[in-house]
Structure 1
């Protein structure tokens, strides 16, 4: 069975973006970039994969991406940001998407369970916080790129009421850039 993996960059105080949906405080240069991009080339937007010469890199962990509408429509975003993956956007109002982006309008938990039952690589939940809160019972693994910055307010990593859920840290990488990459699996 495939896993639902919440892989996201977060601040020290637990935000995935500023209130306006931007993430200017995150570090996009440094020793963490090469290592993480090499291990997770599937999580780079298709246009960045091409720019970095990774367009032919095989998907190592994910063949499907799931995102909320605000993550999909991030300012300056692309209509098909992850064309190398099967793309799903959760939204009750979104109507204009390319053919390779499927919109899930209702019963997101049921649809995620169907996706998890399929054969293939894992499913990447790339945001947002409200969707992550709704799907917490289905999340099997957390991959957090923790940046040494405090936003003070913004979009929380889990944006809604959630039940206490325990995870076990299974890996930790520390980089000179100050970014730490933490892996947690459901206990």
Structure 2
């Protein structure tokens, strides 16, 4: 499914996926919380999406973790608003994982790409964590795959 947006494949796996030289179709920036960034960091990978501008929202991560990664200690909403307002903002911003971060950034989320799989696993991370605040999205597109997985694109109403 990541073949739809090859830039969402981590740098370490791009060659194996055959997308090393594919240009970004949609995203040029990735924002993630420490919980999403931590598995790469624990594996010794400090720049998991080296082909994108990378931001990690964390009040505890050292700002010099990697020169290609900008650590944002607070106020991710201001960060996203600033990125969206850049004059040369030709591509979208990808929020990679993190229900708590998604809850904080909900006022700026224009679209959701939701991957679903035909498996029920039990507990997990909320898609959007935070106070009850209904935000209406419309189904803009849905793609079904032979393995039963789907990719649904929801656009803010």
Same fold by TM-score greater than 0.5: yes
Give SS of 1:184's match: strand
What do the CA deviations read for 1:103-130 (whole angstroms, capped 9, x no partner)?
0111111111000111221000012010
Mapped partners of 1:45, 1:113: distance in 2: 25
Q: How does 1:24-173 map to 2 (within 5 A)?
A: 36-74=1-39, 76=43, 78-95=45-62, 97-118=65-86, 119-173=89-143
Distance 1:144 1:55, change over 3 A: same
What do the CA deviations read for 1:42-92 (whole angstroms, capped 9, x no partner)?
100011112222111000000000000010012647211000000000000
Structure with the bigger percentage of strand:
1
What residue in structure 2 maps to residue 182 of structure 1?
152
Larger relative contact order (Cα-Cα within 8 Å, sequence gap ≥ 6) = 1
Q: CA deviation at 1:100?
A: 0.2
* TM-score of the superposed pair, with normalisation by structure 2: 0.91
Aligned 8 A contact 1:136 1:162 in 2: no
Q: Structure 2 regions of 5+ residues with no counterpart? A: none
User: Which of structure 1's runs of 4+ aligned residues deviate more than 4 A?
Assistant: none
What residue in structure 2 maps to residue 14 of structure 1?
none
Mapped partners of 2:6, 2:149: distance in 1: 18
Q: Structure 1 regions of 5+ residues with no counterpart? A: 1-35
Deviates most, 49-58 or 140-149: 49-58
Coordinate RMSD, CA, aligned: 1.4
Distance 1:97 1:65, change over 3 A: same
Mapped partners of 2:26, 2:44: distance in 1: 23
